[in-house]
Amino acid sequence: MEATSAMSRESSTPLVNDGVRNDGFIPQLLTSLPVLDGAASYLAQTTSLITGCFSDYSVESPSRDSGGSVVHAQEMETFSSAQTEEHLELSCNSHNSLSESSTPATSSPPIHDGETRGSSEDPSQRTHALIESSQASPNGISLFKGLIDRARRTVRGSADDIGWLQRDLSMPPVEDGTERFLEILDNIRHGLHKLPNSMVYLLIPGLFSNHGPLYFVNTKMSFSKQGLACHIAKIHSEASVEKNAKEIKEYIEEIYWGSKKRVLLLGHSKGGVDAAAALSLYWPDLKDKVAGLALAQSPYGGSPIATDILREGQLGDYVNLRKLMEILICKVIKGDLQALEDLTYERRMDFLRKHQLPRELPVVSLHTEAGITSAVLATLSHVAHAELPSLSADEPSKLPVVMPLGAAMAACAQLLQLRYGEKSDGLVTCRDAVVPGSIVVRPKRKLDHAWMVYSSLNDDTSEADASQVCEALLTLLVEVGLRKRHELAMKDE
């Protein structure tokens, strides 16, 4: 009768503690059988150990709730331990022969808090460890949620940022000037030049231009042959945007006070961003000295290349691109990594919402699309020249230094097309090169990012060259400036 009563009492004892289950803890499964209990405890503690290794990715619960959870967990521990001890005592009395004949299965001892627990450990202590281990379950959920979010951010990349300027309703609208640009370009190719010599033309190079001796050189020579005053700004191209903006301001003031002529700016790539920053930050000092600004292939809204390299959770994390760029810019060419950081979408959004271009400033922006044909892949760009010693008294001969920049730009353009479905010149997407409030030029001709400043060895002579394109942009800018001045005069009347 006593055994029957014990078995009846045992069958009425719940196998799963409902209070523990409802609170999200791992249930106490078959605590009367040490083998199953040990396996469950080992599984729970292993999960806790793995979760602890990724604790940095878990999201902490609010402190207001954490205090209550600890108190509640302690109550569950006390209740569960007492219940388990009573249950085990009854089980041992009714199944003494089974306990004596059975041998505990050999298993790997569970590890908890750096201690090794044997199979002969007190079941109440094992249950206590089970409850403690189960408290890591919310962290496990947060871990996997964090991993999913991180994977989603990596896959999305810069997809949500590209073209953000067009989606921002606070930005002024743009006007298409492609047709007029092509007319001016055709006139220039037929010998009709209209750039006035009453202005000084300042060309502002982009990133890494200090290491390209021929950057903008052909354009400057073409302007000089027409009797135009043209300068290339000698700025530190790998410096931050704000640092270069101050240097450009000083350049403009020096030119203006020396020549008494207004300055027309043409910036390529990051040079356009630097020039725009100078006019945004120092417009009260420059408004009487600057006639207009042209931006060619400039990442005015930001660059997906720079963002994917530097943003946390992007490709730069997995292939060490961020570290490589830091070594290249900071150690090799003695630059500032902020020069690249200033081209990320976060930095551009923050800057442009604080410092927009003046509405009265004439602005022209150009964006192009790189070609990806086999002919482009074979294109070599003339980036420098090496002087060879001459045996005679004549000038030393020059050997062109060429690089396959066209192939590199085509590869990057293909990557941006495949990943984001965006057209680009290889480094800057077409949508990010559009400056709000500007006259936008969108030529159909395939031109990559390097073509504007470096000549190619196999340029098509039937098409306009880079210097002619720059001249056409500045001629269009002069016309836009005259029209704006007329509109302002009409408003004043």
The per-residue DSSP string of 153-164 comes to HHHHTTTTTTTH
Instruction: Return the higher-pLDDT residue of 24 and 170.
Output: 170
Nearest to 172 by CA among 460, 493, 491, 484: 484
pLDDT band for 83, please (50, 70, 90 cuts). Answer: very low
Mean pLDDT, residues 376-393:
64
Q: What is the largest CA-CA distance in the chain?
A: 125
Domain assignment of residue 280, given as a range = 164-301+341-370+422-490
Reading the block at residue 205, the tokens are: 């190079």
- Give pLDDT, residue 258: 93
- Give pLDDT, residue 238: 83
Q: Is residue 137 part of a domain?
A: no
- Give pLDDT, residue 156: 83
Q: Is residue 333 part of a domain?
A: no
The answer to whether the CB of 321 falls within 8 A of the CB of 315 is yes
pLDDT band for 455, please (50, 70, 90 cuts). Answer: low
- Give pLDDT, residue 122: 55
Q: Is residue 7 part of a domain?
A: no
Give the global pTM: 0.68
Domain count, the chain: 1
Q: Is residue 236 part of a domain?
A: yes
Q: Is residue 382 part of a domain?
A: no
Q: Is residue 103 part of a domain?
A: no
- Give pLDDT, residue 403: 72
Instruction: Return the higher-pLDDT residue of 30 and 429.
Output: 429
The answer to whether the CB of 330 falls within 8 A of the CB of 336 is yes
Residues 309-329 pLDDT 10s = 888 777 666 666 667 777 766
Mean pLDDT, residues 72-93:
43
Give the domain CATH number at 246.
3.40.50.1820
Nearest to 407 by CA among 446, 372, 452, 454: 372
Q: Is residue 392 part of a domain?
A: no
Residues 100-154 pLDDT 10s = 444 443 344 444 444 444 444 455 555 555 445 555 455 767 776 777 777 777 7
Q: 359: number of CA atoms within 13 Å, CB side?
A: 6
> At residue 359, does pLDDT exceed 80?
yes
- Give pLDDT, residue 137: 53
Average pLDDT of every residue of the chain: 75
Mean pLDDT, residues 347-356:
95
Q: Is residue 184 part of a domain?
A: yes
Residues 34-81 pLDDT 10s = 544 555 555 556 555 555 554 444 334 444 444 444 444 444 444 444
